[in-house]
């Protein structure tokens, strides 16, 4: 089983798209950390520092509505102008000098989070048109690798930049990455049909149609539910990491950074080989295997041994992305082109919202019970999710259910010839 990334990167559209992902992911990772540090340095408040993360994450709850916007325009142009618009919005942060102006930071971060949801939805639809179906598994894996790779280096460099030059320097860096991403999308060659005028008049109805399509597609729905359950467990696991470091390993809190780095390496590795694996097994099997690996890693964190916990972190990092990559790839193939934006955004809401909720719940649970019991319960829940992912229809999803009110589908295209189906900044 060899790595096929070189073949994928020879595709012109994939190369430009991933170039945009790399620079964009670098800027986003740097800015996410810097925003919290910036708020803390201006106000001295831990709560306001934590609120920066909430501002960026909260718009995912409105994914179906935001995704409908992506289906009302040509996606490539939407990506170009949204990236350029965010570069301009970030320049507002150059005016933030004191705690009295902290509201500007929060307002920009809310727009930032909303644009991320919109960009994810538009990119999902563009991938379905610009990237050949045979390369999408590899593409989604490489995209995951690029994102995780940036998370390993960008926060540190962002923190150093903040210490040396302040938050405005990080904002300028992020603005530049938005411009570079816009250029990368401008260089992609793709012919997109104009959105249907009749649909462009029914925004809420469009959002509801995307939700119905996902709900009525048995394989996509099962994958998304398995992913949601896994991300919920990931939230509980993340909330217990400091208890593992302190009570389990008797190490200082900074050692959590080592665990996160090892976890990131695991995600990078699985991203490199995801395409090869997806060509050898159905998405549901790939997802279930990854979830089970993740479940074992979560449970192994109860062992008070540094080598075992490091191995567990690598297993978590390698297992967790599998269901996300599988869900992305299936959505891209199984959704008619006119619905991709809203279906992908709805799937994103269902996949990522449970993680934020579980992080908050896990913070409370770690204060009420031994972290080892919490991890064993979480690991068992993930194992159940893996089994649930395998239940039901065993067929690959090439014959999808027709979209509600839409044409029947043949292969990876709808009857109007528009390529079906996803992922962001």
Q: Provide the whole-model pTM.
A: 0.71
Residue by residue, DSSP assigns 61-95 as: GGHHHHHHHHTTS-HHHHHHHHHHHHHHHHGGGGG
SS3 call for 114: helix
What does the pLDDT profile of the chain (425 residues) look like in tens digits? 455 555 666 677 777 877 877 787 788 878 877 888 888 888 887 667 767 877 887 888 888 888 777 777 777 888 899 999 999 999 999 999 888 888 999 999 999 989 888 888 888 777 777 777 777 777 777 777 777 777 777 777 777 888 888 888 889 999 999 999 899 888 887 766 666 654 445 666 777 777 888 888 888 898 999 999 999 999 888 878 878 888 889 888 768 778 888 888 898 889 888 888 888 888 899 999 999 999 999 999 999 999 999 999 999 999 999 999 898 888 878 888 778 777 888 888 888 888 878 877 876 787 788 889 999 999 999 999 999 888 755 444 443 344 333 333 323 333 222 223 333 34
Element (H, E) at 414: strand 413-414
For β-strands 409-410 and 413-414, DSSP reports them as antiparallel
Beta-bridged to residue 413, according to DSSP, are 410, 419
Instruction: Output the pLDDT for position 404.
Output: 39
pLDDT tens digits, residue range 69-91?
777 777 788 889 999 999 999 99
pLDDT tens digits, residue range 169-184?
889 999 999 999 899 8
Instruction: Output the pLDDT for position 421.
Output: 30
Distance, CA of 220 to CA of 423 (rounded, Å)? 15
CA-nearest of 287, 285, 14, 313 to 140 is 14
Please, which residues have CB within 8 angstroms of residue 185's CB and are 6 or more apart in sequence? 16, 17, 20, 76, 79, 80, 83, 126
Distance, CA of 326 to CA of 209 (rounded, Å)? 22
Element (H, E) at 300: helix 283-300
Here the tokens at position 27 are 């800027």
pLDDT tens digits, residue range 140-168?
777 777 777 777 777 777 778 888 888 88
Residue by residue, DSSP assigns 119-173 as: HHHHHHHHHHHHS-GGGHHHHHHHHHHHHHHHHHHHHHHHHHHHHHH-HHHHHHH
Interior CA angle at 271 toward 13 and 333, to 5°? 55
Distance, CA of 386 to CA of 323 (rounded, Å)? 9
Please provide residue 419's backbone torsions phi and psi, each rounded to the nearest 5 degrees.
-65, 140
Interior CA angle at 331 toward 362 and 202, to 5°? 95
């Amino acid at each position: 089983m060899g790595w096929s990334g070189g073949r994928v990167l020879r595709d012109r559209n994939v190369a430009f798209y991933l170039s945009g992902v790399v620079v964009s992911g670098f800027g986003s990772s740097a800015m996410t950390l810097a925003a919290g540090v910036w708020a803390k340095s201006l106000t001295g408040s831990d709560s306001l520092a934590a609120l920066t993360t909430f501002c960026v994450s909260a718009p995912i709850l409105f994914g179906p509505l935001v995704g409908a916007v992506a289906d009302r325009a040509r996606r490539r142009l939407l990506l170009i102008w949204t990236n350029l618009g965010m570069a301009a919005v970030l320049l507002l942060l150059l005016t933030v000098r004191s705690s009295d102006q902290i509201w500007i930071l929060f307002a920009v971060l809310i727009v930032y989070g909303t644009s991320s949801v919109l960009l994810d939805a538009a990119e999902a639809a563009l991938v379905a048109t610009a990237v050949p179906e045979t390369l999408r598994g590899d593409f989604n894996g490489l995209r995951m690798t690029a994102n995780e790779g940036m998370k390993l280096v960008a926060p540190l460099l962002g923190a150093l930049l903040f210490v040396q030059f302040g938050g405005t320097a990080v904002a300028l860096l992020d603005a530049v990455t938005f411009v570079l991403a816009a250029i990368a999308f401008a260089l992609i060659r793709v012919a997109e049909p104009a959105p249907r005028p009749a649909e462009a008049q029914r925004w809420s109805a469009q959002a509801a149609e995307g939700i119905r399509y996902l709900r009525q597609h048995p394989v996509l729905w099962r994958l998304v539910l398995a992913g949601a359950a896994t991300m919920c467990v990931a939230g509980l696991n993340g909330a217990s990491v400091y208890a593992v470091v302190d009570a389990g390993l008797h190490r200082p809190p900074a050692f959590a950074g080592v665990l996160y780095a090892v976890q990131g390496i695991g995600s990078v590795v699985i991203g490199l080989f995801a395409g090869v694996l997806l060509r050898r097994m159905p998405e549901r099997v790939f997802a279930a295997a990854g979830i089970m690996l993740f479940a074992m890693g979560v449970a192994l964190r109860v062992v008070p041994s540094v080598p075992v916990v490091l191995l567990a972190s690598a297993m978590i990092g390698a297992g967790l992305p599998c269901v996300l990559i599988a869900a992305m790839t299936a959505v891209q193939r199984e959704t008619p082109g006119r619905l991709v934006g809203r279906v992908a955004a709805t799937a994103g809401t269902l996949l990522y919202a449970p993680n934020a909720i579980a992080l908050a719940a896990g913070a409370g649970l770690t204060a009420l019970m031994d972290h080892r019991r919490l991890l064993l319960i979480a690991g068992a829940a993930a194992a159940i999710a893996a089994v649930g992912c395998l239940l039901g229809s065993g067929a690959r999803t090439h014959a999808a259910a027709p979209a509600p009110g839409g044409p029947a589908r043949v292969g990876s295209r709808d009857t109007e010839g528009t390529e079906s189906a996803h992922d962001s900044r």
